[in-house]
Chain A
Amino acid sequence: MNDIITVSNLSKRYGRNIVFDNLSFALPRGRVIGLLGENGIGKTTLLRLMADILKPDSGVMAIDGQIISRHTRDKVSFLLEPVNLYRFMQVKDAIQFYKDFFDDFDYKKAIMLCEEFKLGLSRRVEFLSKGNQERLCLLLSLSRNASVFLLDEPLAGLDPKIKRDFVMTILANIVEKASMVIASHLIRDLQSIFDDIVILKKNEVVMAPAEDIRAQGKSVEDYYLEVIER
């Protein structure tokens, strides 16, 4: 089975606002997937559905052939946001907390990443800079041996140096046979690390391998604009 995530006839609405109506597609295994689309099109909703944080109104979504539910949560690593961290904890407590929570957590890797990021284990979360809080969130989510990693705008609001550190860290920590879905508007910063481009349009999903796009003499950004505007 080459697809890691399958979505069949997915519908989701918030009140009168229909986000997805009968949407079907599949995402391949072992690849880094760039999830692109205009603001408000449903990228975050889609990631939250995959992580079982939200429930679909109808339709079936599956990971590794298993229908998404609380039982698939341990297959999915969802990038936290700093607001999700407990402010009173020290860095080492946050790591321990995550380790207790997820069986697949690689404690050694988390500690190594802290060293790499020069993040002191005894520092209190509430006194970390925004960049360091983001670093802690990234290292917690990358330290799992999950099947699917979901990253929603991982580079938003970061300075160029941290952005680059993040890209390198993501690349160095890709888990074999796992897929990573990265939702972002920062196409230029991330295009070289996307194996596949998935563009969400109003009730439509357009997909292409990034190298196929370039083989046609187009940049990923050109392709994105072309798809959005047609």
Chain B
Amino acid sequence: MVTVHAEMASLGIIISKVNKMSFKDSVPIYIQIANDIKEQVVSGKLVDGEKLKSVREYAVFYEVTPLTVQRAMQLLETESVIQAKKGIGSFIVLGARSTLESMMIHTHVKEFVRGMKNMGIHTEESVLELVKEALTDE
């Protein structure tokens, strides 16, 4: 976490810092930042309607340039996760969490089904049986 004192933040000065998020070298960083913010929404660290940090604060937080943060913000806006209000800042769109959750669930399920198919498990019954087994084990 990076702490930026409000008064000093306007001058762009960092007071203290701990761990840096590590990025994959070969995936656009703005996409990784957008995903990180989405995960924060799903996990409840950022709540619907909450105001986001400024571009500059995020730049220092993620240790990337303001331009990269701006691109992440643009991506989140086109995906209706955040809404930018001119001169005020960006906010988490109401209902973003549930939208993202269902999107993520769909993605996980699709990946799961694809994995099953790759292993030769095609029929509905056999997939469901495995799911039931796994649920009882949990």
List residues of A whose CB falls within 8 A of some B CB.
30-32, 108-109, 112-113, 116, 164, 167-169, 171-174, 191-195, 210-211, 214-215, 217-222
Chain B 27-45, CB-CB to A under 8 Å as 1, else 0, gives 1111000000000000000
In contact, A112 and B11 (Cβ under 8 angstroms): yes
Write the nearest CB–CB distance from A102 to chain B, whole angstroms. Answer: 18
Given known A112-B13, A113-B13, contact A171–B65 (CB-CB < 8 A): yes
Given known A172-B60, A174-B65, A217-B26, contact A108–B11 (CB-CB < 8 A): yes
In contact, B71 and A167 (Cβ under 8 angstroms): no
In contact, A171 and B11 (Cβ under 8 angstroms): no
Write the nearest CB–CB distance from B16 to chain A, whole angstroms. Answer: 10
Given known A116-B13, A168-B60, A171-B60, contact A192–B29 (CB-CB < 8 A): yes
B51 within 8 A of A: no
In contact, A116 and B25 (Cβ under 8 angstroms): no
CB-defined contacts of A174 to chain B, threshold 8 Å: 12, 59, 65-66
Given known A112-B8, A195-B65, A195-B67, contact A171–B25 (CB-CB < 8 A): no
CB-defined contacts of A215 to chain B, threshold 8 Å: 28
Write the nearest CB–CB distance from A25 to chain B, whole angstroms. Answer: 20
In contact, B67 and A214 (Cβ under 8 angstroms): no
What are 8 inter-chain pairs, A to B, with CB distance below 8 A?
A30-B67, A112-B8, A116-B15, A164-B17, A192-B68, A211-B71, A214-B25, A217-B27
With most chain B CB atoms within 10 A of its CB, the pick from A173, A192, A195 is A192
Please report whether the interface of chain B is mostly helix, strand, loop or mixed according to DSSP. Answer: loop
Count of residues in B whose CB is under 8 Å from the partner chain: 25
A210 to B8, CA, bound (A): 30
In contact, B64 and A214 (Cβ under 8 angstroms): no
A195 to B28, CA, bound (A): 11
CB-defined contacts of B29 to chain A, threshold 8 Å: 192, 210-211, 214
A109 to B8, CA, bound (A): 10
In contact, A168 and B17 (Cβ under 8 angstroms): yes
A219 to B71, CA, bound (A): 19
Smallest CB-CB A-B distances: 4 pairs = A219-B25, A172-B12, A211-B28, A214-B28
Given known A116-B13, A169-B14, A172-B12, contact A193–B65 (CB-CB < 8 A): yes
A172 to B26, CA, bound (A): 25
Q: What residue of chain B has the Cβ atom nearest to residue A172's Cβ?
A: B12
In contact, B59 and A171 (Cβ under 8 angstroms): yes
CB-defined contacts of B17 to chain A, threshold 8 Å: 164, 168
Q: What residue of chain A has the Cβ atom nearest to residue B67's Cβ?
A: A195
A218 to B8, CA, bound (A): 37
In contact, B63 and A171 (Cβ under 8 angstroms): yes
